[in-house]
Amino acid sequence: MPPRFTMLLSLFAVISIATKTLADDSPSVGRPNIVFLLSDDQCTYSVGCYGNPDVQTPHMDRLAADGIVFDRHYVTTAICMASRATIMTGKYEYKTGCNFEHGALMQPLWNDSYPMLLRKAGYVTAMAGKIGLEVTQTPGKKGELPEDDFDAWGAGPGQTSYKTAQNKSMQKYAEQYPHSTLSYAAFADDFIASAANGDKPFCLSISFKAPHQPETPDERFDHVYQNKTFTKPANFGREFGQHFSLQSQQGRQFERFHSWHYSDQYDQVMRRYHQQVYAVDVALGKIRQSLVDHGVDKNTIVIFTSDNGFLCGSHGYGSKVLPYEESSRVPLMIYDPRHPNSGKGIRCKELTGNIDFLPTILSLAGVELPKDIDGRSLTMLYDEPETPIHKSLALINVWGPKKVHSLSVVTRDWKYIRWPYAAGEFKATDELYHIAADPMELQNMIDSAASAAQLTHMRAIYDSAVAKWKADAVPFHGYQPFGEIFSR
């Protein structure tokens, strides 16, 4: 072999070894750690960076400034169980078959969830808080918590409890943190400390119970909003919901405007709501500090969002489920410390949804995506925030009274809602909102001549969503009949 060729081979070998060492040892090159934080029932106007000067959310605002804020992020089902199944799988509810009154998540679908696929790919995984779903082998049968599918477990059944001592997997934190919200930050610190000493990347998923009803704020933060008065949103009150369908008034969301005292004790109710969010904000700050303390902050991506929003008196409604903005649009902030766009305070106004978390997390980890998912990776929006990844999203409710069942489609600028229930005094009803110009949904444009062409366009998008439902709905847990129910 010629000497020059031998020298080249030797040089290539040195370069190869050096490159491998860099990939193995450098936090900026190896697979990133991922922290996924999920609050419960948190609306956008509970966060300062979404435009509410009345609230204190310094750590959420800091995360937003460090990373990217998503202004048009929707949950495709605005109730916890179904939303969490969608987050885990990247699929619409009619493809998971998972929701209250329907059934648990089937094992094959769970096998393709992001925690399972990450663990299979070599990640160390942890789950704490309100996981919100169970896994079953048989349709219609009660499921079980997937505790053994995680390396560290701090989650619990059902709604879990605000009392840390009542959460079996979290009892060791009860003395220091009797309220559960901060106990999850302590769990996170322990897990991060352990994982940082290992040789594998990690994924930490925490689902806070807060600020879910019943209002149970941590007393240590009573001073934060003491005697505080809050500015009501411009669409607050029953007079701003008169253009909504009669169907939308039949669920508990309508009566809770009064029974949960938005109508007569607004400041008192909102003090407690925002105090619970404040505690989540403190926990977020503690978790980010843990990443710094254990030397993994430069290679850990942090995602913060909520499973659904909340109607805190807007339009004269309380709670969630309905397809209106306060219920279905939620906060989302993502921070990737490795990315050159970090620290620029970027906001993304493109349409995104909770179907996008699985492909985002798996793409960041370099894991192949499962087939037949509905979401797309949000990583491209971190690169180019003005890149459209969805032309439309479906917003689903098949929970609760049949009268309140609805299917909607939302685009970047418009929303079309279909209420199919028709019996007695009820007629199938449509609503149309130009949310780009009317984000408070104060004017139903369904009968506007100026919006006739847009209505035709939105109905075509809706019909396509119904066709997908008919083609793709799981053959269990009662989802297939809705394809006909939602047909116009």
pLDDT single digits (tens) 97-156: 999 999 999 999 999 999 999 999 999 999 999 999 999 999 999 999 999 999 999 999
Q: How far is CA 411 from the centre of its chain?
A: 18
pLDDT single digits (tens) 154-174: 999 999 999 999 999 999 999
pLDDT single digits (tens) 345-404: 999 999 999 999 999 999 999 999 999 999 999 999 999 999 999 999 999 999 999 999
DSSP element (H, E) containing 471: helix 452-472
Residue 79 corresponds to which amino acid?
A: I
Could you tell me which residues come within 8 angstroms of residue 469 by beta carbon, excluding any fewer than 6 positions away? 94, 394, 407, 479, 482, 483, 486
Q: Is the peptide bond before 211 cis (omega within 30 degrees of 0)?
A: yes
* Range(s) of the domain holding residue 477: 395-485
91 located within any domain: yes
Cα distances (Å, whole numbers) of residue 191 to 20, 107, 179, 472: 28, 26, 19, 39
160 located within any domain: yes
Whether residues 413 and 374 fall in one domain: no
- Mean of pLDDT over the chain: 94
Domain count, the chain: 2
Could you tell me which residues come within 8 angstroms of residue 347 by beta carbon, excluding any fewer than 6 positions away? 68, 69, 70, 71, 385
Whether residues 337 and 412 fall in one domain: no
CA distance 63 to 282: 12
22 located within any domain: no
CA distance 190 to 173: 11
**371-375 contacts, C-beta under 8 A, 24 or more apart:** 372/91, 372/95, 372/472, 373/89, 373/90, 373/91, 374/90, 374/91, 374/92, 374/95, 375/90, 375/91
CATH number at residue 434: 3.30.1120.10
Whether residues 249 and 315 fall in one domain: yes
21 located within any domain: no
Structure token digits, residue 129: 């808080």
Whether residues 431 and 475 fall in one domain: yes
CATH number at residue 67: 3.40.720.10
pLDDT single digits (tens) 432-445: 999 999 999 999 99
Does residue 475 have a pLDDT over 60?
A: yes
pLDDT single digits (tens) 290-313: 999 999 999 999 999 999 999 999
Could you tell me which residues come within 8 angstroms of residue 95 by beta carbon, excluding any fewer than 6 positions away? 89, 372, 374, 472, 473, 474
What pLDDT is recorded for position 16?
35
Whether residues 205 and 316 fall in one domain: yes
CA distance 269 to 227: 12
Q: What residues pair up with 256 in beta bridges, in sequence order?
A: none
Whether residues 81 and 118 fall in one domain: yes
Whether residues 271 and 308 fall in one domain: yes
Whether residues 354 and 424 fall in one domain: no
Q: Domain boundary residue among 370, 388, 406?
A: 388
Position 231 confidence tier, pLDDT thresholds 50, 70, 90: very high
Whether residues 355 and 465 fall in one domain: no
Whether residues 193 and 233 fall in one domain: yes
6 located within any domain: no
Position 30 confidence tier, pLDDT thresholds 50, 70, 90: confident
Nearest one of 186, 184, 182 to 276, comparing CA atoms:
182
Does residue 11 have a pLDDT over 80?
A: no
What pLDDT is recorded for position 329?
98
What pLDDT is recorded for position 2?
41
20 located within any domain: no
Q: Domain boundary residue among 388, 408, 431?
A: 388
CA distance 405 to 91: 19
258 located within any domain: yes
- Which residue reads 């750690």 in tokens? 33
8 located within any domain: no
Structure token digits, residue 440: 């408070």
pLDDT single digits (tens) 76-102: 999 999 999 999 999 999 999 999 999
Q: SS3 sequence, 363-380?
A: HHHCCCCCCCCCCCCCHH
Whether residues 148 and 274 fall in one domain: yes
Does residue 35 have a pLDDT over 60?
A: yes
